[in-house]
Copies of this chain bind each other. A is one copy, B any other.
């Protein structure tokens, strides 16, 4: 019995994404021509172009869905936790865990930056989504009076930059374990949230 047309389309698209992801990790993004993705999928050339414009489009789609998954995971946690301090620190644990659970996408994310303008634009779109999401959460904390009136977007860049560097140390350099990476991210965000200085904050603002 044939699958319903919508589901079948969805499965083809999904298979193309998975084949591309595997090849990008195995051979590197720049060394993977579209023809190999098509060959691996077993579909015809036309099928690929029904779903994607080119290789960059497939990378953008992979990263876009990944960003969506990260944000959905944090939002699902937020719906159950109202304490703003916990939300600040634990949401970073969730983000880094989603990265850790998606090794292949993380590998690509950590390896391809800086190698071509097209790739950098795809990455930028991905990172902008995360930055925007982090920024909104910090602004919410400021608005609720639980955080100082810090420059929210700047802090968001710091949070992403730190995670990005630790992901690279974990998956590219293999210098830290997954557990060490998660512990570092959480304790870093705890330190940010609590503040580094011992002085009473009200006196130095």
In the assembled complex, the Cα of A188 lies from the Cα of B157 at a distance in Å of: 9
Q: Are B198 and A114 in contact (CB under 8 A)?
A: no
In the assembled complex, the Cα of A112 lies from the Cα of B112 at a distance in Å of: 9
Q: How many of chain A's residues have a CB under 8 angstroms from any CB in B?
A: 50
Q: Which of A18-26, A32-40, A51-59, A148-156 contacts B (4 or more CB under 8 A)?
A: A148-156
Q: Are A165 and B160 in contact (CB under 8 A)?
A: yes
From 74 to 90 in chain A, residues with beta carbon under 8 angstroms from any chain B beta carbon are 85, 88
Given contacts A173-B124, A194-B197, contact A165 B155 (CB under 8 A): no
Partner of A154, one of B146, B187, B202, B204: B187
Nearest-neighbor residue (CB-CB) of A85 within chain B: B197
Given contacts A146-B198, A155-B196, contact A175 B113 (CB under 8 A): no
In the assembled complex, the Cα of A141 lies from the Cα of B168 at a distance in Å of: 28
